[in-house]
Amino acid sequence: MRPSTAQRLVRFYPRAWRDRYGDEFVDVLEAQPFGAGVVWDVVRAAMTERVLTFTTREVRVAYVSDLRVLVGRPSGFLPLLCSVFALAVGLLGAASTPALRPVDEGAAAHVFQLLIVAQVPVIAFFVVRWARGRTWAAVTVAAIQAMAIVAALAPVWYFHL
């Protein structure tokens, strides 16, 4: 296996593990032929190490602390607020009597679309800005933002608005 490939595979492991075993592990990897079996073996073992690492108190505390920081950032909470407003707009639209709904897309529909579309660049910025330094907390917040969008879209789909 090429050294660059081995280096990439080692990055799946937690930082503390890499500091301890990284050099010798890369040496062993370089002697292995590259193949799906080896990649799967390394990724599976790395995920196990990450789970084991996460069970330590220090890592859990750091994760919760990162979550608080990221949710407090504008790029963290603004998309969530947009989704909440979009959900409210969708539910209000569903609650209104069909006779009162505009035949064409009304102002509410445009507000709803704006609230959803405006989030996309903000979420993209959030991921680019935070995924490297606070990976797992950033992934968690981005997943919550994505789920909030799905929740906001649910009434539109369910009530055929």
Partner 1 sequence: MRSSNEQSPGDTSSGFSDPPLLVMASLATGAKHGHAMIRDIEEMSGSRLGPGTLYGAIARLERLGWIEALPMEDRRRPYRLTTAGHAALHARMSALRRFVSAGERRLGLA
Residues near partner 1, by CB under 8 A: 17, 20-21, 23-29, 31-32, 37-38, 41-46, 48-49
Nearest distance from C-beta of residue 18 to partner 1, angstroms: 11
**Spatial distance between the Cα atoms of 130 and 107, rounded to a whole number of angstroms:** 35
Are 142 and 126 in contact, with CB atoms under 8 Å apart?
A: yes
Minimum CB distance to partner 1 smaller for 49 or for 140: 49
Which among 62, 40, 46 has a CA at the least distance from the CA of 135?
62
Nearest distance from C-beta of residue 13 to partner 1, angstroms: 9
For residue 142, count other CB atoms closer than 10 A to its CB.
19
**Spatial distance between the Cα atoms of 35 and 18, rounded to a whole number of angstroms:** 22
Quickly list H helices, the chain: 3-10, 15-30, 36-54, 57-72, 74-95, 107-117, 119-130, 135-158
Minimum CB distance to partner 1 smaller for 10 or for 70: 10
Nearest distance from C-beta of residue 45 to partner 1, angstroms: 3
Minimum CB distance to partner 1 smaller for 42 or for 141: 42
Minimum CB distance to partner 1 smaller for 23 or for 105: 23
Nearest distance from C-beta of residue 23 to partner 1, angstroms: 5
Structure tokens at 137: 């907390």
Nearest distance from C-beta of residue 29 to partner 1, angstroms: 5
Minimum CB distance to partner 1 smaller for 22 or for 106: 22
Structure tokens at 121: 């660049």
